[in-house]
Amino acid sequence: EYYTGILPHATGKFVGVTEVNYGYGLASFLMACIDRDAFWGNTLASHLPQSLASSLPPIIANTETRHIGVSCWLLMNTVLVLLSIRRVLSHSNVTTNKLAISALCKFLTPGLLAISPWILPAHFVQNHTRYISVAIGLMMSLMTKKIIVFSMAKMN
């Protein structure tokens, strides 16, 4: 919004903030209704009909469902972030005023915050996972609030 003057809430016509939140809510409800250890601990092939499971490559069929779920979540988030970056960089205000580098620099802080668990030493992450998660969540929340309030007040 800082560069485009609008606050987009969707990528395309069908994937927006509301749809993602409904999806998370549905996933949370479904997880409450099933045996999570049995579902996420088994391989993908154990959840599929034999005819479909045999047609998958063994590396995918023998992967645990939890790894498939995390991979799909990571892929979805990567696509949404890349589409958002593309939308900002292709906006007329950004292209006419040559603000692409400045816009990408604004992405540096949340980007570093998002990859920080992989930058920290492994023993620190193993011993302090909850503290790291809470700290990153609070920092993301603070950043989001600052972006929204500054945008509403037309501040930098």
Would you write out the chain's pLDDT as a tens digit for each of its 156 residues?
Answer: 666 667 667 776 777 778 888 988 999 999 999 999 999 999 999 999 999 999 999 999 999 999 999 999 899 888 888 888 888 888 888 888 888 898 888 888 888 998 998 899 999 999 999 999 999 999 999 988 887 787 777 666
Cα–Cα separations (whole angstroms), residue 25 to 29, 95, 141: 6, 38, 20
- In this prediction, residue 155 carries a pLDDT of 66
Q: Reduced to 3 states, what is the DSSP secondary structure of residue 12?
A: coil
Q: For position 128, what pLDDT does the model report?
A: 95
Q: Is 5 left (phi over 0), alpha (psi -120 to 50) or beta?
A: left
Please give the pLDDT value at position 89.
86
Q: Are 140 and 113 in contact (CB under 8 A)?
A: yes
Q: Are 33 and 27 in contact (CB under 8 A)?
A: no
Instruction: Using only the alpha carbons of the chain, give its radius of gyration.
Output: 20
CB 74 within 8 A of CB 82: no
83 touches 75 (CB < 8 A): no
Prediction pTM value: 0.70
- Neighbouring C-alpha atoms within 13 Å toward the C-beta of 21: 5
Task: Round to whole Å and give the CA distance between 156 and 153.
Answer: 9
